[in-house]
Structure 1
Amino acid sequence: MTTTWQGSPDARPSVRIASLAPALQRTERRVVEAIAADRDRAVECTAQSLAEWVGVGRTTVIRAAQSLGYDGYPQLRVALVQELALESAAAAAGDASGGGASGIGAEGGSLSEGGAASILGTLRVRIAQLAARLDDTVAALTPEAVDAFVQALDSADRLLVVANGLSSPLGLDFAMRLNSAGRPVEQFADPMAQQIAARQLGAGSVCVAFSGSGANRATLDAMSAARASGARVVAITSFARSAVEKLADVTLVVPPVGGSFHDELIHTSRAALMLVTEHLVDAFVEIRGDRGREARAAVLTVLAGALEE
């Protein structure tokens, strides 16, 4: 499978790097990681000077740019300049409003200095940083993949949701939302139970897999079992060309909000994945029409009956 950018042509270089870097060849990965680490220096480089900086050949730099979806390194440089300019404008606007995302915030001090105000200031900054990157969550999605994913949810005879590790809450939330929308779902916390259920799915069934890293062993085993049964496998992950994507028939890639595979492992966030899955369920309800609306109305009736007057 060729490792190239398949998402939106408007996606920022940093988003493309975050999504694709783990799957690139080692020398290409060195190039894009160097660019991500020092974008200001990268925009001043030609393909040759960047190659000398990283310690690779010029053709490797060109291939890396093409893997990110650009015709060559000059086009990547232009995109980097545009990205940096947009970030500078956003930071200036934030500073002007008194709540910029470039520092710890107006509450004062750093988190290490302690105090509720300092913690609140840090929290505000981090939420602002997340909000600034929300557009990136859909940058790698294509209309065809989203349509195929939602249609699979609707047409499946049986639907099994598989998620492990830090993605487990995503799977549970997704299953509960689909059940509330009138779509019966099977979901198991135990990895062995997941594999057993997946192996018994059969043709006409669908296994939905969640894995932020795209490399969770228990999730991969369940996906393999589902494929062996003849079921269709769809997945949501943070990294293109990951092991999860290779096993899935349809994959939705939601780039990590942290910006890199390292951040995904050390400062893990499932906020972007959660946001996308919530709206996927809304899309599912919409394509179901009256069936979806009636199911949600039934849920509201149950909830109303459970509330004390």
Structure 2
Amino acid sequence: MAWDGPTDAPPTARIVALGPSLQPSERRILETILADLGAAVDSTAQELATTAGVGRASVIRAAQSLGYEGYPQLRVALAQELALGTSAERVTDDGTMLGALRAGVDRFGSRLGHTFSAITEETVQAFIGALDGANRVLVIANGLSAPLGLDMVLRLSAVGRPAELLSDPLAQQIAARHLGAGSVCLVLSGSGASRATLTGMTAAHDSGAQTLAITSFSRSPVAELADIALVVPPAGGSFTDELLHASRAALMLVTEGLVDVLVERRGGRGYEARATTLSVLGAAIQE
């Protein structure tokens, strides 16, 4: 399972997006690298293996899984990322509650560059084209991704692309099974492993509908099942952090941007629909 995303994606973004699907020994290597990028750059393959408590061969396999020829090439990429400051965390925690909040925002901001590192132009074009041309759009999102699903439906409806969202997993499955060819099932899942989401997605796939996904990990079950998947590496920096904090902020940024791209593609239809929405909002606001 080697990296198949953009060749210019930084190594830490590749690690976060691909890491959970790798073998345990490879994951230990990648976790060791994430813990101290500078030390990884200064280490030989054997030194890194010793630090991680695995064999040297695991270091080579991990580098190749990330899309590099070997560990020397991974070291160069890590050094470049450090030099460019794409992985720097400008933490400002001063021990106060406000400082802790600022530190969290700083950490998130330092990783914003990774948001689109696993997405290609071709994938976005295919995604937007399918969304625009579908005769019916069903959005599936559960757990902590559920608010993203509701937000996506509201945004799509506001620009003239009606979509539907059902909160009950069984209702999702029934609706998905009735989609059929020409329809789209849009799945939002941070972990990409929600059982309820996968069940509904499988029902949509079996109906003949095209399945689209926005998720955080490139080899997750949702990403593997989707016809078109947009992988947005989690801002937390690791699968463990994703489990602990389950931030959907990066996914939210991408979904908002996708709707804007859809409006641009639709041209006059999109602008007219947005203008209509604004007029309704304007009438609903009291002075």
CA 1:179–1:88: 2 relative to 1, 3 Å: closer
In the alignment, is residue 225 of structure 1 matched against residue 203 of structure 2?
Answer: yes
Q: CA deviation at 1:89?
A: 10
* Matched letter for residue 74 of structure 1: P
- In structure 2, the partner of 1:273 is 251
- In structure 1, the partner of 2:131 is 153
Equivalent position to 2:189, from 201, 211, 214: 211
Gaps of 5+ in 1: 92-100, 111-117
Secondary structure of the residue aligned to 1:48 is helix
Q: CA deviation at 1:128?
A: 2.3
- In structure 2, the partner of 1:113 is none
Secondary structure of the residue aligned to 2:140 is strand
Q: Find the aligned partners of 2:58 and 2:100 in 1 and give their Cα distance.
A: 40
Equivalent position to 1:84, from 82, 91, 105: 82
CA 1:128–1:52: 2 relative to 1, 3 Å: closer
Q: Find the aligned partners of 1:203 and 1:218 in 2 and give their Cα distance.
A: 22
31-40 vs 279-288, which moves further? 31-40
Alignment of 1:86-235 (within 5 A): 86-87=84-85, 101-104=90-93, 109-110=94-95, 118-235=96-213
CA 1:174–1:124: 2 relative to 1, 3 Å: same
CA 1:228–1:90: 2 relative to 1, 3 Å: closer
CA 1:88–1:171: 2 relative to 1, 3 Å: closer
Q: CA deviation at 1:277?
A: 0.5
Q: For the Cα contact (< 8 Å) 2:5–2:119, is it kept in 1?
A: yes
Determine which structure has more spread, i.e. the larger CA radius of gyration.
1
46-55 vs 209-218, which moves further? 46-55
145-154 vs 74-83, which moves further? 74-83
After the TM superposition, which segments of 4 or more aligned residues of structure 1 sit over 4 Å from their partners?
88-91
Q: CA deviation at 1:121?
A: 2.4
- In structure 1, the partner of 2:45 is 47
Q: Find the aligned partners of 1:90 and 1:73 in 2 and give their Cα distance.
A: 22
* Matched letter for residue 92 of structure 2: G
Identity across the alignment (%): 60
Q: CA deviation at 1:46?
A: 1.7
Q: Find the aligned partners of 1:300 and 1:20 in 2 and give their Cα distance.
A: 41
TM score, norm. by length of structure 1: 0.88
Secondary structure of the residue aligned to 1:138 is coil
CA 1:102–1:128: 2 relative to 1, 3 Å: closer
TM score, norm. by length of structure 2: 0.95
In the alignment, is residue 298 of structure 1 matched against residue 279 of structure 2?
Answer: no
Q: Find the aligned partners of 2:244 and 2:46 in 1 and give their Cα distance.
A: 33
CA 1:128–1:307: 2 relative to 1, 3 Å: same
* Matched letter for residue 260 of structure 2: D
Gaps of 5+ in 2: none
Q: Find the aligned partners of 2:238 and 2:279 in 1 and give their Cα distance.
A: 44
Q: Find the aligned partners of 2:109 and 2:42 in 1 and give their Cα distance.
A: 29
Equivalent position to 1:259, from 237, 250, 272: 237
Q: Find the aligned partners of 2:208 and 2:87 in 1 and give their Cα distance.
A: 51
Secondary structure of the residue aligned to 2:223 is helix
Q: CA deviation at 1:194?
A: 0.7
- In structure 2, the partner of 1:22 is 20
- In structure 2, the partner of 1:98 is none
* Matched letter for residue 169 of structure 2: P
Secondary structure of the residue aligned to 2:115 is helix
Q: CA deviation at 1:27?
A: 2.3
CA 1:88–1:296: 2 relative to 1, 3 Å: closer
* Matched letter for residue 221 of structure 1: T
